[in-house]
A and B are shown apart, each in its own frame.
Chain A
């Protein structure tokens, strides 16, 4: 597997997490590609229009990338915060459609703005990393950080409130959870994550255009979560990684490639209704890790004993 593909998979995993966050509290928001597009557009504009962001060296400066990611994420989060109060009153499929409409509106705006390059988009985006491995390393660290935060979040009051809303919104209200605020928080976090991922993706893709945020992308990112599992953060990560890699890994099948891909998407939910990763499976994995830890400890003791052996009188 090439580092370029790995990078694409990691972006998929981050986007999966962005869809997962609102879904964690039962909100089916498909706005992720729209926020992703915003982040990318911010990064593309800043790094191609402002010389300081491109830098003078062979690669553009890393702080510029971090700043773009921050700004892209922030702009997306601001938009989410501004409209969240209104759209999050919608439920289920109605919220899904409203967010798809939002993605389409953003796409048309990007297409029509005088400074975003129209259909061709913005190109010649400078590179903060010289190689795809550089990107993949950076993105892995980012993904690990986001995963750690998601895992922490599930322990925090906010995370537990989110889960409570998903299970039974009425009951959650009754126990005093401010459901509107919790949902808004999740929505804003989702936008923030999609926005900063977009800023990173724009550099990696060298060019950025309005097509990035489309209906197709909305559905694909949703498939990441459903396929991987929507009950723990590891589900969308695995879903994003696997479904992004699959069309590439299926190249040896030739003309049947996308037919097999379709078959996997069709059979995935049928065979694994909870997704590939369920809390139970994770529990098993966790026990596995603990087991591994015990074994390692065993080896450690043996090693220590051997190492210390000769010194014993």
Chain B
């Protein structure tokens, strides 16, 4: 009280000097007061209440739909929407529809954290996301602490499932995929002697994958003759390319995101590089066709998803995708997002058959769902997958494809190499 009294006496003085220190201190005391008030929130713990199924079976996804990773979020959004239509068309979770809420995380960590928290507070049973590995390292610990299962559709960095028991992924790491394409390139061109490596230094996926590529090359006795670094924002690679071409490479290995990679291939060919090109998993999307156009032809790519895989699950996915996107070929990210939702749905179906979801409280259901996810085997567009006890994906099929562009140079396909 006395503070306020004194405040009043000083008003005239403060008005003269502009800003009254003490009055402002009182304001900051008010801030402090709200800090103390913050501790006193209460109410029943929603996690001890039954799962809220009134809108359907609650699931959440957090995708980078804005910011500079927006194109990945867009591809994933397509996959989730199609999978949702497919799964609910088949009766959802034993008759109860899936209710999937998709939130934008932007392309940064605070955005991912906010979206994760929002979804968890909504009472979702499990989360799909976030898009970027950096975001996963920031947001996944929140889900782990709140004991909410996460299925990551696109994080490929080392150490994601190790964040905790509740974190799993359907996106295989570069370490298992990348070496395959190197082996295949050497099989096709046994004469290869000099490899040049390019990667985006400020990109988590690229810098992780290039390490694997370089190890695989060295293991084959092909220590890279040059390693060139780019930045995510770069679009003109003439400096790196001319430096690399001086070393007369006969194999170029790229770990770049789709847009940079497409530009890189075009510029390599325009500047006269004629040898083989092997690209990483990040370019497994038809989004590269309009970028490198006719120059895409012949590049070798390691794939965690092949549009050419013949299986009932992939046919169902392709049918949905082509109906909605007009005959196009799905990107790997779209297939992986579909797979993540499929995994969750199948695990939920098993769980619900064992004991109805209605009879469990939220915390129990989440815990049981995680165990169920890890114990299953799934027939997905990616082929057959299951999980290690840590939540790392075990994928049966990986592929090496060669891009074949049609004569117009506008579209093409990823032809599987036998």
Q: Which residues of A contact B (CB under 8 A)?
A: 2-6, 8, 111-112, 118-121, 123-124, 127, 130, 132-133, 136-137, 140-141, 143-145, 147-148, 151-152, 154-155, 205-207, 209-212, 232-234, 247-248, 251, 257-258, 279, 282-283, 285-287, 289-290, 293-294, 296-297, 300
Contact = CB atoms under 8 A, between A and B. Distances in A.
B328 interface: no
Of A6, A8, A121, A206, chain B has the most CB atoms within 10 Å of the CB of A206
Contacts of B35: 136-137, 140-141, 144
A290 B8 contact: yes
Contacts of B25: 148, 151-152
B19 interface: yes
B32 A207 contact: no
A289 B111 CA distance: 36
Given A144-B35, A282-B19, A8 B142 contact: no
Contacts of B111: 247
Interface in B90-145: 103-104, 106, 108-111, 113-114, 117-118, 121, 133-134, 137-142, 145
Given A279-B19, A293-B4, A4 B117 contact: yes
Contacts, number: 162
Interface stretch (B196-204, B302-310, B337-345): B196-204
B19 A154 contact: yes
Contacts of B34: 140
Contacts of B4: 289-290, 293, 296-297
Nearest to B135: A207
B225 interface: no
B411 interface: no
Nearest to B3: A293
Contacts of A144: 28-29, 31-32, 35
Contact of B202 (A119, A124, A132): A119
Interface of B: 1, 4-5, 7-8, 11, 14-15, 17-21, 23-29, 31-32, 34-36, 38-39, 41, 66, 103-104, 106, 108-111, 113-114, 117-118, 121, 133-134, 137-142, 145, 157, 159, 163, 200-204, 206-208
Of B27, B139, B204, chain A has the most CB atoms within 10 Å of the CB of B27
B135 to A, nearest CB: 9
Main secondary structure of the interface of A (DSSP, over half): helix
A92 B145 CA distance: 46
B45 to A, nearest CB: 13
B156 to A, nearest CB: 11
Contacts of B17: 155
29 contacts: A2-B114, A2-B121, A4-B117, A4-B142, A119-B204, A120-B133, A120-B204, A137-B36, A137-B38, A148-B24, A151-B21, A152-B21, A155-B17, A206-B113, A206-B138, A207-B137, A211-B134, A234-B24, A247-B106, A279-B18, A279-B19, A287-B11, A289-B27, A290-B4, A290-B7, A290-B8, A293-B5, A296-B4, A300-B1
Given A4-B114, A111-B201, A286-B14, A137 B28 contact: no
A209 B134 contact: yes
A155 B21 CA distance: 6
